[in-house]
Amino acid sequence: DAGVIQSPRHEVTEMGQEVTLRCKPISGHNSLFWYRQTMMRGLELLIYFNNNVPIDDSGMPEDRFSAKMPNASFSTLKIQPSEPRDSAVYFCASSSLGAGARSSYNEQFFGPGTRLTVL
């Protein structure tokens, strides 16, 4: 099993540019999570999907952030336009959840993360 795959691993961009982060969850998992990790704010849940449907996006910082999950094997997190304060490590995680289960009920498997630097 390849685990959760994220690309790119590192991204350096200039303020105002669009950034797209990609995630491939573990095959068979039906839930996908996007997190952001910074020194100042720690690890924050941005959004999670269950069966490709966004369930909770209350952690998305603002309208510049958007996430999609067009199918069970792919998700994107887009920032447009990017700002220096968006610099962080972005993690994708996946898990397998039963109907009605809390989002954390089963172990979440994390990808290696994407380190984003916005200049």
Partner 1 sequence: AQSVAQPEDQVNVAEGNPLTVKCTYSVSGNPYLFWYVQYPNRGLQFLLKYITGDNLVKGSYGFEAEFNKSQTSFHLKKPSALVSDSALYFCAVETDKLIFGTGTRLQVFP
Binding site for partner 1 (CB under 8 A): 4, 42-45, 56, 58-59, 91, 93, 102-105, 107-113
Those residues whose C-beta lies under 8 Å from the C-beta of residue 71, and which sit 6 or more positions away, are 52
Structure tokens that stand for 66 in this block: 């958007």
Measured from the CB atom, the residue of 80 and 106 that comes closer to partner 1 is 106
Give which of 27, 47, 54, 58 is closest to 91, Cα–Cα: 47
Question: Minimal distance in Å, beta carbon 35 to partner 1?
Answer: 8
Between 23 and 69, whose beta carbon lies closer to partner 1? 23
CB of 6 to partner 1, least distance (A): 8
The least distance separating partner 1 from the CB of residue 81, rounded to whole angstroms, comes to 27
Which residues are paired to 22 by β-bridges? 7, 76
Render 48-70 in DSSP notation, one character per residue.
Answer: EEETTEEEE-TT--STTEEEEEE
6 or 82: whose CB is closer to partner 1? 6
Tokens matching residue 62: 């603002």
- The distance of closest approach from Cβ of residue 15 to partner 1 in the complex, given in angstroms and rounded to an integer, is 25
In the complex with partner 1, which residue's Cβ is closer, 85 or 105? 105
Structure tokens at 27: 């095959």
